[in-house]
Amino acid sequence: MLSLDRKLLRDLWRLKTQVIAIAMVMAAGVATLVLAVGAYRSLDETRETYYERYRFADIFATATRAPEWLADEIAKIPGVAAVETRIVETAILDIEGFSVPATAALVSMPEIGDQVLNRIYLRQGRTPDPAHSDEIVVNEAFAKAHGFGPGDTFHAIIDGRKRKLVIVGIALSPEYIYALGPWDLMPDDSRFAIGWLSRKAIEAAYDLDGAFSQVSVKLMRGASLDDVIERVDVLLARYGGRGAYGRKDQQSHAFLDAELKQLEAMARILPPIFLFVAAFLINMILSRLVALEREQIGLMKALGYRSLTIGMHYMKFVAAIALVGVVIGGIAGTWLGFGLTRLYGDFYHFPFLVFLWGADIYGIAVFITVGAAALGGARAVWSVVRLPPAVAMHAPAPPRYRRFLTNGWLRHISQTNIMIARHILRWPVRAGLTVFGISLSVAVLLASLFSFDSIEFMIDFTYFQADRQDATLEFTQERPVGVISDVERLPGVLAAEPVRTVAVKVRYGHVERRVPVIGKPAGTDLSRVLDTDFRPVTLPETGFAPSDALAEILGVRVGDIVEIETLQGRKRIVEMPVTAIIQGYLGLLSFMDIEAVNRLMREGPMVTGVHLAIDEAEADALFAEVKDMPMVGSIALQKKSLEKFRQTLAENISVMISVYAGLAMVIAFGVVYNSARIQLSERGRELASLRVLGFTRGEVSWILLGELAVLTLASLPLGWAIGYGVAWVTVQGLQSELYRVPLVIDRQTYAVSSLVVLGAAAISALIVRRRIDRLDLIEVLKTRE
């Protein structure tokens, strides 16, 4: 073994704790990159494989009652590869032992042969027999929530009649990976089900013999999505078509796609922070190691070692640290990535998982990590290469301190505090870099923990400011406004507010979106419309009020004129002024006065649902009545929805945030500990001298650790500012048409982030303090090292 290689191993062992601290920061960056990219690729590949195997459609369209022969016309459209028609309706479920009404989406299955598109994956049992109209296949999540298996039964209100259904199969579907009930924010498997019945059973129940209410289309490769959608809309227009839409607007796919974009954003934002800190630490430790070994470097050059050979020796030191970080980070990232993928797989109910951890992920991680380490050590190595032997063998000139630090008000400060201040001001760049490094750990913590604040703000806005109703009933079809009186007479109903929802296309210039228009009466109190300043808005008798997300996409402001095309009932295209911009975080929504919506549809006073305030003491009686109401298609319960939202938050998001918080603590410990250890190496002779002169162990420790305390405290405000910026970038990366995350950071989050970093700094200080207490005064005074 070469002598320089033996020296390398000795240096690595001598500085093992610092090396491990830096390697752990690198490992955090590698782990974040590997788990984010690996989980993203695995989930994306799983989704695509699932879609391909089970023929997930590219286009979906809904109609009121379209004749079956229209499917042949749709199949003739250029670019169409396959067409399947079906009937999809909603129904209220009555489950024994479950007082709360559940809702189901009932989907027809072909009587002969398999499904052409959107095929189900049978976990247990079989498909319904067309000869038995009471047989049903239910989705696996719903079955698990109620402990159902083949042979179990429940009741459903199908087209006004209560029917007993027998479960013959349990299945999954690519169309319902994310099964979201009406008015819910999170899937609630106990209250929302997907049920597949034979086509014959649904046709008879809803009087749709020889007709369909939904059509799915699969495109040929290279076909124009927009052209096919336009042709489908033309064909369905006469039959109550509500506008065809592509896969990207299909609810389940859109939510899963948004989740994958979050993983992609995480891979772009967090790893660079960790690797930047690692590069900073390597630069710090290597620069100071070179300074301490200045005379050795001069001696090696005088003995004939080339500058390049000595430079490569120190680059090997950097490479060894990077290698340790890559190995630890690769193993941790793979383990966390598999866990995260399984977590998503369970949440989204995939029938299988395709793990895709290619060698290129690790290659990229190695390249980026080693590159960051090399950049961090480049400056220190360059100083080695250009240092002349004669200069290197001389001790460096002692530092010069400014005289003003001993004058004036500083005379009233203790000697140890003056030493701390003078040392910080003598090395301002070094102090600034240490402050910056510690501030990054504060920033990562802040950028992780703010998610809880933002979500709590969304919960408060959604459940306690805007939609404050206890329940929402949605009718099977439009009803005369007089139905509100019937609802108000139900047991436990304290107040009722009507609502009408209509599907429209909104255009402004060349931009258009398919959105629901929600009509509400003036002066609503249960379900309120709030502007971007969170003030209640009274919707005018004429005019259109888009959510802020929709307004931003369309590029409209108050006073602009938009074009609205109705997608149901009598087709109309009208122009309306934008009268207000509404605050909204979930989906693309728009609002109008309910009377204006009825005029838009050229109909009398009609409603599609009602918001309720209910007496909890009579809730069971109300639910029993609702289960027997043929006009009710679904019921949403705000408290149940909120409970599910918080449960999902605790199960999924908390896991991810805990991982990020742990990684941020690694940064904090790595920066503070390395700063303390390097300063102890540099100032060991000085500190030992002070002990000989009569300073106590506590005073000597304070000189070193007090400086670190000052720098740590100084890093907090900077960390808050950087963390706010990182949080803002994260929020921008998470924005989608499905939801917008508000940037909200509470004071408590600033405090928690700071306390965690201070705690990590305190642990580092205690470790270094033990080393100070064990200083061998005689030995230290003999040598600079």
Residue 98, burial from CB neighbour count under 10 angstroms (0-12, 13-18, 19+)? middle
Give yes or no for residue 324 having a pLDDT over 60. yes
Give yes or no for residue 1 having a pLDDT over 60. no
Calculate what percentage of the chain has a pLDDT beyond 70: 92
**pLDDT value for 785:** 45
Residue 364, burial from CB neighbour count under 10 angstroms (0-12, 13-18, 19+)? middle
C-beta of residue 712 within 8 angstroms of C-beta of residue 672: yes
* Cβ-Cβ contacts under 8 Å for 584 (sequence gap 6 or more): 547, 548, 549, 550, 740
Q: Which of 52-66, 486-500, 580-594, 640-654 has the lowest mean pLDDT?
A: 640-654
Both 530 and 630 in one domain: the answer is yes
Token pair, residue 217, equals 């289309």
Residue from 256, 259, 198, 251 nearest 60 by CA = 251
Label residues 740-764 b or e (16+ Cβ within 10 Å = b).
Answer: bbeebbeeebbebbbebbbebbeeb
**pLDDT value for 653:** 65
Both 444 and 427 in one domain: the answer is yes
Query: Across the strands, what pairs with 192?
Result: 103
Residue 248, burial from CB neighbour count under 10 angstroms (0-12, 13-18, 19+)? exposed
Helix (H) or strand (E) holding 513: strand 511-520
d(CA 337, CA 345): 12
State the Cα torsion 277-282-288-289 to the nearest 10°. 160
| 269: Cα separation from own chain's centroid | 13
Both 512 and 614 in one domain: the answer is yes
C-beta atoms surrounding 663 within 10 Å: 24
Both 629 and 657 in one domain: the answer is no
Give yes or no for residue 150 having a pLDDT over 90. yes
Token pair, residue 186, equals 């999170």
**pLDDT value for 407:** 54
Give yes or no for residue 780 having a pLDDT over 60. no
For residue 293, give the 3-state DSSP assignment.
Answer: coil
Is residue 64 one of the residues assigned to a domain?
A: no
Q: What is the pLDDT of residues 727-758, one digit of tens each?
A: 888 788 777 777 788 889 999 999 988 888 88
Both 484 and 591 in one domain: the answer is yes
Under the banding of pLDDT at 50, 70 and 90, the label for residue 763 is confident
Is residue 417 one of the residues assigned to a domain?
A: yes
**pLDDT value for 379:** 75
Highest mean pLDDT among 222-231, 346-355, 393-402, 432-441: 222-231
d(CA 352, CA 341): 11
Using CA atoms, how far residue 463 sits from 204, 334, 527, 529, in Å, is 40, 38, 9, 12
C-beta of residue 36 within 8 angstroms of C-beta of residue 344: no
Both 486 and 609 in one domain: the answer is yes
Q: Whole-number mean pLDDT of the chain?
A: 83
Give yes or no for residue 545 having a pLDDT over 90. yes
Is residue 759 one of the residues assigned to a domain?
A: yes
C-beta of residue 555 within 8 angstroms of C-beta of residue 522: no
Residue from 476, 474, 473 nearest 158 by CA = 476
Highest mean pLDDT among 416-420, 473-477, 773-777: 473-477
C-beta of residue 692 within 8 angstroms of C-beta of residue 701: no
Label the pairing between strands 606-614 and 493-508. antiparallel
Both 312 and 414 in one domain: the answer is no
C-beta of residue 322 within 8 angstroms of C-beta of residue 373: yes
**pLDDT value for 564:** 92
Token pair, residue 303, equals 């003995």
**pLDDT value for 674:** 74
Residue 606, burial from CB neighbour count under 10 angstroms (0-12, 13-18, 19+)? buried
Q: What is the pLDDT of residues 633-678, one digit of tens each?
A: 888 888 888 888 777 766 666 666 677 667 667 777 777 777 777 7
Structural domain of 146 = 88-207
Both 593 and 696 in one domain: the answer is no
C-beta of residue 708 within 8 angstroms of C-beta of residue 676: yes
Both 532 and 474 in one domain: the answer is yes
Both 375 and 443 in one domain: the answer is no
d(CA 245, CA 149): 35
Mean pLDDT along residues 39-53:
89
Residue type, 133: S
Q: Can you list the positions of beta strands (E) in 47-87?
A: 59-67, 80-86
d(CA 473, CA 190): 18
Helix (H) or strand (E) holding 777: helix 777-782
Q: Half-sphere exposure (CA, 13 Å, Cβ side) for 172?
A: 20
Torsion 743-749-755-760 (CA) sign: negative
Both 33 and 182 in one domain: the answer is no
**pLDDT value for 560:** 93
Domain end position, chosen among 642, 676, 711: 642
Scan for tokens 């788990």, then name that residue: 35
More reliable by pLDDT, 546 or 697: 546
Is residue 226 one of the residues assigned to a domain?
A: no
Give yes or no for residue 504 having a pLDDT over 70. yes
Is residue 249 one of the residues assigned to a domain?
A: no
Under the banding of pLDDT at 50, 70 and 90, the label for residue 620 is confident
Q: What is the pLDDT of residues 247-287, one digit of tens each?
A: 888 888 888 887 787 777 767 777 777 777 777 777 777 77
Give yes or no for residue 683 having a pLDDT over 50. yes
Is residue 195 one of the residues assigned to a domain?
A: yes
d(CA 560, CA 537): 18
Under the banding of pLDDT at 50, 70 and 90, the label for residue 402 is low
Q: What is the pLDDT of residues 169-195, one digit of tens each?
A: 999 999 999 888 877 777 888 889 999
Is residue 71 one of the residues assigned to a domain?
A: no
Both 623 and 562 in one domain: the answer is yes
Is residue 75 one of the residues assigned to a domain?
A: no
**pLDDT value for 778:** 66
For the chain, the straight-line distance linking the first and the last C-alpha, in angstroms and rounded, comes to 25
Maximum alpha-carbon separation in the chain: 102
Domain end position, chosen among 397, 418, 436: 397
Residue from 460, 470, 518 nearest 492 by CA = 470
H-only helix segments in 386-427: 389-392, 415-426
d(CA 679, CA 640): 57
Domain end position, chosen among 173, 190, 207: 207
**pLDDT value for 12:** 83
Residue from 270, 345, 309 nearest 44 by CA = 345
Q: What is the count of structural domains for the chain?
A: 4
**pLDDT value for 783:** 54
d(CA 726, CA 277): 15
